[in-house]
């Protein structure tokens, strides 16, 4: 009976101590937020001893937010807080999983930190391809099937991934091994400048917040300058976009970033009033009825020549834009191993995309500029 008493007393004392420890007051932390103007999917907060990145929209329809703590060496976090990952900054070795992440690393001057990437052939950047050719960046498989053993051997400080639904067993396995994983939702942004602002996400990881802010401000200023130039013309050409895949014509919805580019270039996108940020799936007859007399066709999907269009389906030649040689695509320009430059760099440089579209629709406004991403289909 006495032993039982001592045991109960010990348990009570132990639980009481744990309760006291849990309720100990945490040192007050001063919170400031880094300004995020256009992006809707993340927030950055700075405290006295650590920083946080919160993803509010890691994938469309996500019900969970993810908050990551960023700490310097020997920094302790408040015991009252829980985080989805804890990352020591500045990051020295990183694995990223989307080509849209590569330009941010390069613009911030942190490319040397990249040690792994899935399917290296997708990367177009000449600078990063040199590092790949030198054996400094390791192939880690495919996004849907990352090579866990290779990742563990690389021992990166951080893996930056993306997900369409949050069900990624590889990320869960990596976190169990002690390798932090953070989601990046740049692809969910619907505005051109919103996508570009994700450079601030990488800026805080490398302790380069000021550089990231300066780079983004320059892009934003250039974008607005071009938009203002385009607004001065009274001409607003009509625009068709997309192409057929099998029997369905896919083109941007009215709230998409592609539609926003056309609007900001002072063009009249014929499906601008459609609601949504993704793609419309239409039958050929409806597109022909509405878009046959469009003056320009910007974004010809996978097609890179007029001949390809006509050989695929004779109906393409019925469009005025086809007849008048007003066809422009973004899939002609590729990296050395076939990666599409537009898909890699355009989200990070909307200022260059907008200049391209203004150059197409209003060539007199930018007489000395050359197209950067788009090409005229011959």
**Which of 240 and 168 is assigned the larger pLDDT?**
240
Residues 73 and 214 in one domain: yes
Full residue range of the structural domain in which residue 140 is found: 32-218
- Residue 81 in any domain: the answer is yes
Residues 189 and 288 in one domain: no
- Residue 299 in any domain: the answer is yes
Residues 120 and 46 in one domain: yes
d(CA 185, CA 305): 33
Whether the ω angle into residue 51 lies within 30 degrees of 0, i.e. cis, is: no
Q: How far is the CA of 325 from the CAs of 3, 320, 374, in angstroms? A: 94, 8, 14
Residues 211 and 128 in one domain: yes
Q: In 3D, which of 267, 254, 276, 266 has the Cα closest to residue 294? A: 267
CB atoms within 10 A of CB 99: 22
Mean pLDDT throughout 245-271? 96
Residue that finishes a domain, picked among 166, 191, 218:
218
Residues 172 and 283 in one domain: no
Q: What is the CATH number of the domain that holds 116?
A: 3.40.50.1980
d(CA 269, CA 261): 10
d(CA 19, CA 6): 20
DSSP bridge pairs for 291? none
The lowest-confidence range among 28-32, 190-194, 290-294, 295-299 is 28-32
- What are the tens digits of pLDDT across the range 155-206? 999 999 988 876 777 888 888 889 999 999 999 999 999 999 999 999 999 9
Label each residue of the chain as H, E or C.
CHHHHHHHHHHHHHHHHHHHHHHCCCCCCCCEECCCCCCCCEEEEECCCEEEEEECCCCCCCCCCEEEEEECCCCCCCCCCCCCEEEECCCCCEEECCHHHHHHHHHCCCHHHEEEECCHHHCCCHHHHHHHHCCCCEECEECCEECHHHHHHHCCCEEEECCCCCCCHHHHHHHHCCCCEEECCHHHCCCHHHHHCCHHHHHHHCCCHHHHHHHHHHHHHHHHHHHHHHHCCCCCCEEECCEEECCEEEEECCCCHHHHHHHHCCCEECCCCCCCCCEEEECHHHHHHHHCCCCEEECCCCCCCHHHHHHHCHHHHHCHHHHCCCEEECCCCECCCCCEHHHHHCCCCHHHHHHHHHHHHCHHHCCCCCCCCCEECC
Residues 287 and 212 in one domain: no
Residues 206 and 240 in one domain: no
- Residue 6 in any domain: the answer is no
d(CA 368, CA 355): 11
Residues 49 and 175 in one domain: yes
- Residue 263 in any domain: the answer is yes
Task: State the pLDDT at residue 16.
Answer: 38
Find where tokens 């607004």 sit.
231
Task: State the pLDDT at residue 80.
Answer: 66
Residue that finishes a domain, picked among 218, 244, 279:
218
Task: State the pLDDT at residue 60.
Answer: 86
Residues 86 and 214 in one domain: yes
- Residue 7 in any domain: the answer is no
Q: In 3D, which of 103, 181, 111 has the Cα closest to residue 146? A: 181
Residues 213 and 295 in one domain: no
- What are the tens digits of pLDDT across the range 4-61? 333 333 333 333 333 333 333 344 467 888 899 999 999 999 998 999 999 999 988 8
Residue that finishes a domain, picked among 185, 218, 251:
218
Half-sphere exposure (CA, 13 Å, Cβ side) for 83?
21
- What are the tens digits of pLDDT across the range 314-364? 999 999 999 999 999 999 999 999 999 999 999 999 999 999 999 999 999
Sign of the dihedral defined by the CA atoms of residues 106, 107, 109, 113, in that order: negative
Q: Is pLDDT of 222 > 50?
A: yes
Give how many domains the chain has, as a whole number.
2
CA 150 to chain centre: 25
What confidence category does residue 75 fall into, taking pLDDT thresholds of 50, 70 and 90? confident
- What are the tens digits of pLDDT across the range 103-159? 999 999 999 999 999 999 999 999 999 999 999 999 999 877 889 999 999 999 999
Q: Tokens in use for 260?
A: 């926003």
Task: State the pLDDT at residue 115.
Answer: 98
- Residue 317 in any domain: the answer is yes
- Residue 241 in any domain: the answer is yes
- Residue 26 in any domain: the answer is no
Residues 144 and 202 in one domain: yes
Q: Kind of pairing, strands 138-139 and 141-142?
A: unpaired
Residues 206 and 239 in one domain: no
What confidence category does residue 220 fall into, taking pLDDT thresholds of 50, 70 and 90? very high
Mean pLDDT throughout 280-286? 96
Residue 248: what are its φ and ψ, rounded to 5°? -120, 135
Q: Tokens in use for 30?
A: 């001063």
């Amino acid at each position: 009976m006495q032993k039982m008493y001592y045991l109960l007393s010990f348990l009570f004392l132990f639980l009481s101590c744990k309760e006291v420890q849990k309720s100990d007051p945490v040192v007050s932390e001063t919170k400031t937020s880094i300004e995020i103007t256009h992006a809707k999917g993340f927030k950055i907060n700075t405290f006295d001893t650590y920083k946080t990145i919160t993803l509010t929209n890691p994938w469309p329809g996500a019900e969970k937010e993810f908050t990551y703590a960023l700490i310097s060496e020997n920094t302790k976090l408040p015991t009252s807080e829980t985080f989805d990952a804890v990352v020591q900054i500045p990051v020295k070795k990183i694995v990223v999983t989307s080509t849209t992440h590569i330009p941010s690393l390069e613009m911030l001057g942190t490319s040397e930190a990249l040690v792994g990437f899935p399917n290296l052939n997708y990367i177009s950047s000449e600078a990063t391809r040199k590092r790949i050719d030198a054996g400094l960046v390791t192939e880690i498989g495919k996004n849907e099937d990352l090579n866990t053993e290779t990742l563990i051997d690389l021992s990166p400080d951080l893996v930056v991934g993306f997900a369409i639904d949050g069900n990624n067993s590889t990320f869960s396995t990596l976190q169990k091994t002690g390798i932090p994983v953070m989601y990046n939702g740049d692809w969910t942004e619907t505005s051109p400048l919103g996508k570009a602002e994700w450079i601030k996400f990488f800026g805080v990881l490398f302790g380069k917040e000021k550089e990231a802010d300066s780079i983004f401000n320059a892009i934003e200023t250039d974008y607005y300058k071009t938009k203002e130039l385009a607004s001065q013309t009274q001409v607003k050409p009509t625009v068709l976009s997309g192409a057929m895949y099998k029997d369905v014509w896919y083109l941007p919805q009215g709230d998409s970033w592609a539609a926003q580019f056309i609007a900001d270039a002072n063009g009249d996108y014929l499906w601008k009033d459609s609601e949504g940020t993704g793609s419309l799936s239409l039958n050929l007859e409806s597109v022909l009825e509405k878009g046959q007399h469009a003056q320009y066709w910007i974004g010809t999907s996978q097609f890179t020549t007029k001949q390809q269009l006509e050989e695929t389906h004779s109906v393409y030649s019925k469009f005025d834009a086809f007849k008048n040689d007003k066809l422009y695509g973004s899939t002609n320009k590729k990296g050395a191993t076939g990666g599409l430059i537009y898909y890699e760099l355009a989200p990070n440089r909307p200022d260059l995309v907008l200049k391209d579209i203004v150059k197409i629709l209003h060539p007199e406004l930018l007489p000395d500029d050359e197209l950067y991403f788009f090409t005229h289909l011959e």
